[in-house]
Amino acid sequence: MFKTRLNDLLGVEYPIIGGAMAYLSTAELAAAVSNAGGFGLIAAVTLTREELKEQIHTCRSLTDKPFGVNIALIHRDPDKINQDIEVVIEEGVRFVETAALSPEPYVKKLKDSGITALHKCATVRHAKSAERAGVDAVTLVGFEAAGHTGLDDLPLSIMVPQAVDALKIPVIAAGGVGDGRAFVSALALGASGVQIGTRLMASRECPACHTFKEWIVQTQATDTVYVERSLNRAYRVRRNKAAEKVLELEETGVTMLDLLPYIGGDRLRKVLFEDDVEAGVVPCGPVAGMIDSVMSVREIIDRIVSQAKDIVERLSSN
């Protein structure tokens, strides 16, 4: 059960990808996802060349299962993207997920190096152009997701069927998946798999501090909010003092530079690792409202799969 084209493409037991989360998707979290039968991703965005290499080596020491590296194609330092690409090629990483801007300039280089290329984007339009650029699968980020969700404001129930009708390559649904019900519904919509982010923030292997994880468990589905709308971007985050401040500033007409003190990495690290959940803006999806406890990654994935099996059996016995 639950064998799709994605299982074959990634060489995994379950078509469930652990979404890359800046600062949190370390080798330990990625390996835990892969060891549980899913597909783990290391988030490269905040890592130096040496740190990324080290994370890849650590991940290899923790799992013999497939894993990949997520490379954000938007960065304040233009050299950073080429640096990440060089590292994954040098290190013989077999899977890369690019995200944000067009993967077109990088796909050939990745594929010529024997890398399976996935791309994450937030509109069907961009998914189509990623397919034209030659990627092997596309992750579609819905309005439900944490982080940057694009400006179409469409849920996966609309986008996934449109994407699977328009594309030949596998489509992965990202956003709002925390249990077996959402997993089955994504597959029913035609997705070849799912990507989960927010649910993994409240996992034992997530490196965030206890205070942060408990805050996520306490989060209601209505506690997320969009910032950066005034800058023509949509960034879904947990409502807190920093997010309120950003919204207040946005009413006065600001640039990204004005928002950086609240959105930047220093504040985010305080939220994630230093018990100060009000200090900075942190991506979070409304699926947080359905998280009831901090569990191991294996328990999370096992629960998703066993719920999904029950659903399929129930549906087919009627």
Ligand X SMILES: Cc1cc2nc3c(=O)[nH]c(=O)nc-3n(C[C@H](O)[C@H](O)[C@H](O)COP(=O)(O)O)c2cc1C
What is the sign of the dihedral through the CA atoms of 165, 192, 308 and 298? negative
Between 152 and 314, CB nearer to ligand X = 152
Between 98 and 251, CB nearer to ligand X = 98
Please, how many CA atoms are within 13 Å of residue 82, restricted to the half-sphere of its CB?
Answer: 4
Residues in contact with ligand X, counted by CB under 6 A, come to a total of 30
The verdict on 10 binding ligand X (CB under 6 A) reads no
Tell which one of 81, 88, 141, 172 touches ligand X (CB under 6 A): 141
Query: Do the beta carbons of residue 201 and residue 213 sit within 8 Å?
Result: yes
Stretch (H or E) spanning 173? strand 171-174
Q: Which amino acid is at 244?
A: E
CA 25 to chain centre: 9
The verdict on 140 binding ligand X (CB under 6 A) reads no
Alpha carbon of 309 to those of 1, 45, 61, 202, 312: distances in Å? 8, 35, 32, 23, 5
Between 87 and 145, CB nearer to ligand X = 145
The verdict on 283 binding ligand X (CB under 6 A) reads yes
Query: Do the beta carbons of residue 95 and residue 118 sit within 8 Å?
Result: yes
Q: How far is the CB of 41 from ligand X (least distance, A)?
A: 7
Please, how many CA atoms are within 13 Å of residue 35, restricted to the half-sphere of its CB?
Answer: 17
Instruction: Round to whole Å and give the CA distance between 18 and 30.
Output: 7
Window 38-77: contact mask with ligand X (x via CB under 6 A): -----x-x------------------------x-x-----
Q: Which stretch binds ligand X (CB under 6 A): 18-26, 79-87, 103-111, 251-259?
A: 18-26
Tell which one of 10, 154, 284, 291 touches ligand X (CB under 6 A): 284
Residues 74-103 that bind ligand X (CB under 6 A): 99
Instruction: Round to whole Å and give the CA distance between 178 and 308.
Output: 11
CA 102 to chain centre: 17
Instruction: Round to whole Å and give the CA distance between 288 and 218.
Output: 8
The verdict on 300 binding ligand X (CB under 6 A) reads no
The verdict on 15 binding ligand X (CB under 6 A) reads no
Between 170 and 316, CB nearer to ligand X = 170
The verdict on 195 binding ligand X (CB under 6 A) reads yes
Tell which one of 47, 135, 164, 177 touches ligand X (CB under 6 A): 177
The verdict on 180 binding ligand X (CB under 6 A) reads no
Q: Which stretch binds ligand X (CB under 6 A): 13-21, 87-95, 211-219, 302-310?
A: 13-21
Strands 235-238 and 224-227: antiparallel
Query: Do the beta carbons of residue 21 and residue 272 sit within 8 Å?
Result: no
Tell which one of 175, 180, 193, 280 touches ligand X (CB under 6 A): 175
The verdict on 170 binding ligand X (CB under 6 A) reads no
Stretch (H or E) spanning 121? strand 116-121
Instruction: Round to whole Å and give the CA distance between 102 and 71.
Output: 12
Q: Which stretch binds ligand X (CB under 6 A): 26-34, 86-94, 103-111, 283-291?
A: 283-291
Q: Which residues bind ligand X (CB under 6 A)?
A: 19-22, 24, 43, 45, 70, 72, 99, 120, 141, 144-147, 174-177, 195-198, 201, 282-285, 287
